[in-house]
Structure 1
Amino acid sequence: MATIRIGLDRLPPAARAAVEEHTGPLLTVEETAEGFNSEIAARVTSATGTWHVKGLRTDHPRAWTQRREAAIAPFLTSLAPALRWRVETAGWDLLGFEALGGHHADYAPDSPDLSEVAALLCRLGETPCPVIELRHAEQRLEHYAAHPDDLRFFAGTHLLHTDLNNANVLVDDRASQGDRARLVDWAWATRGAAWLDAGYWVTWLIAAGHAPASAERWAAEIPAWHIAPAEGITAFAAANANVWSEISTADPDPWTLRLATAATAWHSHRRTG
């Protein structure tokens, strides 16, 4: 379920003052609509720079997502915006990230962004998994796998993002080709099998209009996909369909229903293809 968003102006004065110790007096505050985890999400500008600010109350049930993003940020060079500062005061945990330019990735079948996302996932696959507290993929999928034995396919030692929503991928056309995309929102970072992020991407590609076979061809641009056992991919498609079925039942929004339909289509393709 999405977290209720509030404006930066509703922060306690002490929290706002703590932010401005890092930024200087704020000149502009542009609230952002994307993302579901944060109570505060805004692009702020002062005389000294621009930042993307994310925040939650320290007693929020998902306060752990702020801690996770702060812990992993130093390890994400070339993959994500840099974390410039963190404020924990007056009952709030606030993160100030480098403000990236660009647009949200377009996953449509003919989009030039697809090759950039593939390159990004290749870079992620080459990034060592940091020795910090992360959930394991087999734990996250434990209640969704069709068979308990399927969980062995998802286990591994690689760093995963796991939320390949196109809104979490920013593409900057001004950067060098092959290095234009960055991943934001690392709250659900996970340790698991190297090919799983390509699998998560498949569902989003189908939801954007790809046939399952086309989506899998894009997944095959990621080297780790080629070491994934076919039965493991099918097991993941089954588990992912169960995940989205649960999400769309609990929160029947058009976008959750679209993802559930896509996940089911992929699972059907794996079983019959």
Structure 2
Amino acid sequence: MNIDTFTLNNGVELPGLGFGVFQTAPEETVAAVQEALRVGYRHIDTAAAYGNEREVGEAIRRSGLDRSDVFVETKIWISDYGLDQTLHGFDKSAAKLGLDQIDLLILHQPLTTAFERTIGAYQALERLLADGKVRAIGVSNFLPEDLDRLLDATSVVPAVNQIEIHPYFRQTELLAKNAEHGILSQAWSPIGGITFYPGYGKGPSTLENPAIADVAAAHEKSPAQVMLRWHLQQGRSAIPKSVTPARIAENFDVFDFELTDAELAAIDSLDQKVRRGPEPASMTLESAGFPVPEA
């Protein structure tokens, strides 16, 4: 099976479809990640704030796969922003994962109310990259204005910007901004789970959209598979998540069909330009900060 991969702006190869563990309980994480690796995923996305880095590392070790065969991505939480704090944040994540080197380390949010700490955090990522402790660095939930502020103050262009992207919220301007700078757009909530997640859901689920259902029927695939294919064909990495073995396998089975230009355009046209997740600027130390435990 040919798995779509993307070459990052520093030459590192990233498997386009990653397996996410957001809100996966630690006690479920080992089994879920082991199953994902068994099915064929070779890219695992976690974060310090998820509280399950240790279990992700354990699952990779149990898989029997060579370390070089699994691309590991994790994120620094805002509580650990600042040069020295972020360097220590890397140490905490690396220890929990049981890794000497992390493939992709990104900042989880722009801390817009204290952007100097965001700059310090990113400068720490630059140092970790220069020292070979990480293979690539990036950001998450950065809007165009956040990227401008970051690029003006730092030297290394982020390799990835992980953002909310799904058929109901395409973020066209941000996708263009990322592309302009050679930053890979990576979709969290790629099949629109945030559209029906309690507290955020507004309106009908993407999984129940008639237009997506029509495309799925034409290819004898599920709506989720169609949305993941939509991302990959448009040059985006996607991070679906599940703890259900059948769904884990289904989400990975997206490399044997192609959407037509008309089908891609039909999905594009569903954009409602309404964010379902939190506004990035709303994530402050006061509202969302918490201490990330030591290893």
Q: Same fold (TM over 0.5)?
A: no
TM-score w.r.t. structure 1 length? 0.27
Q: Relative to total residues, which structure has the larger strand share, 1 or 2?
A: 1
Q: Which has the larger radius of gyration?
A: 1
TM-score w.r.t. structure 2 length? 0.26
